[in-house]
Structure formats: structure tokens, C-alpha cells
Amino acid sequence: KQEVTQIPAALSVPEGENLVLNCSFTDSAIYNLQWFRQDPGKGLTSLLLIQSSQREQTSGRLNASLDKSSGRSTLYIAASQPGDSATYLCAVPPGGFQKLVFGTGTRLLVSP
């Protein structure tokens, strides 16, 4: 059974710092890995989708990497801003059609 773990559970940084969020999964037979952002009381917003054949994806200040063999993905946020404050979740489909298994997320707070 696929299990997804995110560390740290919470992170507080001053504005301008570069930071890394971690996501680990137990079964490396995945189709892809998706990173989401969730603001309080809102739905999830897709940030990046990395297919299993890819090693990384970039969107603006965000860069996500994927290492299937070690069961890890990282989300790198460059030059963090207060508007980046949110909960970040990673999710993987456990070998089937998009029955995503989610991590419990990392709550990020960026202080001005």
C-alpha cells in the first residue's frame, strides 16, 4: 500500500529565503507525482505535475524534482514571499488510474 510522507509538517521562514519541501513515497511504481497548494478553507491548486519519465519541472519560482528509485520528491521555492504562505501537498497515484494518495502536507508561513 502506497504511503506518502511530507517533512517538515510546518515551516516558518523570513521573506526572501529559498526553501525546500520534502515528499517521500513507499512504492516507486508511480505514473507521476503532483504538487498542490491549499489556502485555508479553499480547494487545492495544482502547482506542478512530474511524469515518471521526468526528473524535474519548473514553474516560475517553483522547481520540483523526482527521484523514483529513492522514493523522493522535493519542491524548491526560490525567494519566498508572504503570498507563498499556504499548505503544500504532494500526491501520487498508487499504480492505478489517478487514485491519488496524498501526504498530510507542509504548512508554510513566510513572514514579511
Interface with other proteins (CB under 8 A)? 31-32, 34, 36, 41-46, 49, 51, 89, 91, 93, 97-100, 102-105
Nearer Cβ to other proteins (38/74): 38
What residues have CB less than 8 Å from 98, skipping those under 6 apart?
none
Q: In the bound complex, what is the minimum distance in angstroms from residue 28's beta carbon to other proteins?
A: 15
Q: In the bound complex, what is the minimum distance in angstroms from residue 48's beta carbon to other proteins?
A: 9
Q: In the bound complex, what is the minimum distance in angstroms from residue 97's beta carbon to other proteins?
A: 7
Taking the C-alpha atoms of residue 75 and residue 16, their distance in angstroms, rounded to an integer, is 16
Taking the C-alpha atoms of residue 73 and residue 92, their distance in angstroms, rounded to an integer, is 11
Nearer Cβ to other proteins (80/106): 106
Nearer Cβ to other proteins (54/81): 54
Burial class (CB in 10 A: 0-12, 13-18, 19+), 100: middle
Q: Record the cell numbers describing residue 54, joined without a space.
A: 521526468
Q: Give which of 19, 97, 64 is closest to 11, Cα–Cα.
A: 19
Q: In the bound complex, what is the minimum distance in angstroms from residue 65's beta carbon to other proteins?
A: 18
Nearer Cβ to other proteins (26/98): 98
